[in-house]
Structure formats: structure tokens, C-alpha cells
Chain A
Amino acid sequence: MPDWLKRLRMVLWSALFLAVGYFLFYGIIPFGRIEYSNDFSSPDYFIGRLTPKERVISGDGKFPLVTGNPVYFNLKTTRPFSKAGITLRYRRIELDEDPVAVTEDEAGQELSCSEELAKTYLETNDAPIIELGMLADKNAWRYDLKPVENKLLDGLGSEWRAEEWRGAVFYSRKDGKASADGLLKDPDRYKKAAVYNFNPETHFTIKGYTASHAPHSQLFSLRGSHEFYVYAKNEKLYFEFELLDLNLDKDNEFFEIIISRNGEVIDKKEFGGDGLADDSGRATALGKSTYESALLEEGIYKVGIRANDDMVFRLTTRQEKISYINHMRIYEVYGRPRLFSDIKRLYVKTADPKNLQEAKFGSEAIFITKPFKQYYSKISYGVKEIVFEKGGLILAGEGVFSFGPDNLINPGIRKISQDTDLDKEGIEYIIADYMKPEEDGDWMVKRVDFDLTKAYKENRTYSFLISIPGLEASKKGDTVVEISRISVELTGNSLYEKVRRLISEKL
């Protein structure tokens, strides 16, 4: 074999050896830190494209334009990490041409309301809030949302003063007299307060409350995960769940109840499904399951029902004050039920054509004429009645739902949402854990950190969401959000730390 051939062979095999080393290095990431970036100019393995395509205009070498809410992207990693710092570079622009029409089916997930209302809404709403979320619980479809931009807070005028308070910012109108501590201790002032990305420990009590010991059944059954507030005063929480397994999904069913107070879990109990991985669609009645707590001191408790979509429950309880938080997925109704809610804007949709109906939100009628389409009401204040004809509805909004006006309790301080009007709502105090994004020319840049140990992952893939409530660009001139780059900094254990831990575990 001639020398030059030997040298060629050596070069080729060395190149292969180096390539394997390169792949292993970037697979193992021995120093425990790596950064990925996607400017959407070409497909990227680590940071996926923005989906669904119906809410994103992309192509022609342009940055993607987000036209609807929400959009999702996946993050793939080659090894586990504990933290992710996601940096979003974006700007709001006006759509310079009408978007390509989507088909009826594709439009299914989009918001809809009457044309006149849409016009008013879109003229007054340019998507003031942008948030990034990490999928934390797939079954409950729960994203851990963190702020990117809140134009309502950024635009607070000179009549507001800001001071740092326990790692957050306490804003108060200049004539406001309360301190943050004083505000949280005084439930009477909660009506004048709002929070953003901050869960304060509140001290909510109901004067003159007496416990009712008579069990009462709800006039509807609910499907999947829910959360509700319940009030107790030296009494036990009593919940009886009449369970039904719809057997639509092959995954094993689960049904869990989690009781917490001021963010601290105080009890939980798990009830099983039928234990069969069945997707025949034949529903199985699972009978009644009961939960009874220990004697609880006076206060508000939050009850989380964690269940997959196959599980339907009808609740019977002895608790008098009970209010569902932000969302209800009504499966079946018994009689003609009414709900009461303090939400400002009701979002409602159905997935089943046989459940198309007319619903009423206060004095406003909402005609649900197409499945999968999300309808919404006008903004109105105070407690309103919601009347609907049949089940199969998903109701959502920022606030609570209850069976009667007297049962309604909302112990929390209202959250700032895209519908918030500080003046109209008489808000004098705001507590926010929020930092304004940085400006980079026309672009805004914001980094948001997530704890990946609390994330849901499948095959080392994490799911993220960009939430821009109210964004609905359907014609030239509408506001869209252009995203020029998503970069992710991942940190975790280094190889040295991993080896040291393995050795210490063995010894």
C-alpha cells in the first residue's frame, strides 16, 4: 500500500473519530450548559417551528408572524437539564396584507364573535400581554406561564408610584394610603387591588358564615381537571364524586383530589378509573367515591381535581360556598342549571355539533352556532348570571363560577388580564412580579427562566407556549407579533457532578 494511501486512510478514519467525539461531546454536554437558537431561517432540531400553522404566517425567508393565540413550540434536548432560560426577540407590527384565508376546519380554533363586536374589540386591543409558558401537566393541560411583556404595567402613568416589595413591585396610586403588607391583611381593600404573576397569601374570611351540613348535588357533571375554592369554618370538607369513565382514550384514567391552602398542599387522595386501557367509547359508571377531610380551621381552601378527559364527575358536597376557578367543562346538565360568575368576559365553546345552543351571559345572548369555535361576550362588570340549555360547553374567563350568587366566593385579588381597565375597575394597588423587556432597536427582548424539573417531557422533548391573549389578526392593518429569534440556555448537572453523585450513591 503506497504511503499516500495510508495517509488518506488515516485522515478519513481520524475524521470519523473526531466526528464521533463531536457528537458525543454535544450529546453529553459535559459542562452542563448549552445554548440553542432558532431564527426560523431553516428547520432546527432543538427548537421546533411555531404551531399551529393556522396562527402563524411564515415563509419567503421572513420571520414568522403570530396572528392568533396561543402558539406552541417544542424544545428537544439530548440529555436532561434542570433549568431553561428562554429568550424571545419579537415586535408588534401591523399586518401589511390580508392573511391567506384558512378553511372552515382550520378556523375552528379561532375566536369568533359578531363582526361589529370584533371590530370594537380589535380596535381597542393590541394584545397588551405576552407570556411564555412551559407545559407542566399534560393531563390537566396546564402551562406554567411567565410574563414577557405587560403593556398595561409598562404604561402606568405618573399618577402611580412604584416601590420594591419582597422581590416584586408594589404600585399604588399616589393618593393611595395602603402599604403592600397593609393591603394583604385587609380583605376589604382586595376590591381595589390587582396582581400580576404574583400569588399573595390572602386573609379572606366571611363574616357571619355558618356551615351547612346538608349535602347538595350540583346540577351538572364536569369533565376532566378543574379547580375550585371552598370555604370552611371549623368543619370537614365533604365531597362525594359520582364518577363516569367515558373510555374514549386508551390511556389509563386517573382522578385525584388535591386540597391546598395559600399554595401549600394539605391533603390529597387518588381515586382510580376502571383500570382498563379501553377506548371503545362505551362509558362505564364507576359509582361514588367520597373524600372527607379532617376538621379545618376557618378560611379559604383550594381544591384541585386532577383527572384526564375520560373522567366525568358529578359533585355532591356539604360545603355552602364553592366556586370554580377560571374554567368549567360541563358534560351533562340535570334540569336547567344557572351559573353565576364575576368574570368580565365569558369565553365559550363546544366540541359537539349536537350541543350548539344559545347561552346567556347577563343580558347578553351568545349564539354558539359552530363547533370548536370560541365565542366571547362583551366586557361587563359585577356578578352575572350564565344560563345555558344543555351540556357539552367549555366556559372560561378570568374569575370564578358558582351555582348561586350567594355561593360565589373569590378570595383572591383579581389578576391583571388583557381585559383589565384600571380606571373603570377602580384599581388603586397592584403587586406584580414583572420586569419590562429590553429594547433592541424596533425589537423587544426578554429572557424567561423555567424549572425543567417541573416540566412534562416526552422523549426528552418539552412543550412551550407563547400566549398573547386577544391577538386575532384577520385582515390588513391588524396587530401581529413577529418573532425573530427564540434562544434557549439550558443548564444542568455537569458530567463531573453526575459522576461524583453516582460514586457517592454507590459508597
Chain B
Amino acid sequence: MKKNLYYIAREFFYAFSASLVIFYALELAWKGVVLSRMDVGPILLLWLSSGILVLGLQENKDDYEK
């Protein structure tokens, strides 16, 4: 169970990290293109939560990889 949760959190963390980087780059290149359509606050919050979850579950990472 913990193993699956770890994998899910990690996938979300990667996806949210990529989203934030891409959205930031888009905003930098074209002001307003993202922020006009979406509030990135919730994404930041989800990214942070998934990151904390990944760190919290990381202790037994080696067991999950077996």
C-alpha cells in the first residue's frame, strides 16, 4: 500500500514539477497566457503536498524498488 502511494505521489510530483516549469516558461515568454486562464496557486499547493508525501514515504524507498 505504502509502495503504491509512494509511486503515485512521485508521479504526481514529477507531473506538477514539469507543469510549473512549463507554465513559468510560458508566462516568461508570453505574459498572461497561463495566468489569464488558470490560477496556479492550487498547482503549487498540490506540487508541495506531493513533494512532502514523496519525502515522507522515501524512508522505505529501497524496499519499494525490490
Contact = CB atoms under 8 A, between A and B. Distances in A.
Given A16-B19, A19-B19, A24 B11 contact: no
A215 B19 CA distance: 71
Interface residues of B, number: 20
A46 interface: yes
A24 B37 CA distance: 10
Contacts of A26: 33, 36-37
A26 B30 CA distance: 12
Contact of B26 (A5, A20, A460): A20
A16 B19 CA distance: 6
A19 B43 CA distance: 12
A76 B11 contact: no
A33 B3 CA distance: 49
B36 A46 contact: yes
Contact of A9 (B11, B30, B34, B36): B11
Contact of B12 (A12, A20, A23, A460): A12
A31 interface: no
B15 interface: yes
B48 interface: no
Given A26-B36, A26-B37, A12 B11 contact: yes
Contacts of B7: 2, 5
A502 interface: no
B19 A460 contact: no
B33 A27 contact: yes
Given A19-B19, A23-B26, A460 B8 contact: no
Contacts of A22: 37
Interface residues of A, number: 21
Given A8-B8, A26-B37, A78 B15 contact: no
Contact of A45 (B19, B22, B26, B32): B32
B35 interface: yes
B31 interface: yes
A16 B15 contact: yes
Chain B interface SS verdict (over half): helix
Contact of B32 (A13, A16, A24, A76): A76
B18 interface: yes
Contacts of B37: 22-23, 26, 45
Contacts of B36: 26-27, 45-46, 76, 78
20 contacts: A5-B8, A8-B8, A8-B11, A12-B12, A13-B15, A15-B15, A16-B22, A19-B38, A20-B22, A22-B37, A23-B23, A23-B26, A23-B37, A23-B38, A26-B36, A26-B37, A27-B33, A45-B35, A76-B36, A460-B32
Given A12-B11, A45-B32, 15 more contacts: A5-B7, A8-B8, A8-B11, A9-B11, A12-B14, A16-B22, A19-B38, A26-B33, A26-B37, A27-B32, A27-B33, A46-B36, A76-B36, A78-B33, A460-B32
Interface of A: 2, 5, 8-9, 12-13, 15-16, 19-20, 22-24, 26-27, 45-46, 76, 78, 459-460
Interface of B: 7-8, 11-12, 14-15, 18-19, 22-23, 26, 30-38
- The 10 residue pairs across chains A and B that have the minimum distance between CB atoms: A12-B15, A27-B33, A45-B36, A23-B34, A23-B33, A16-B19, A78-B32, A5-B7, A8-B11, A9-B11
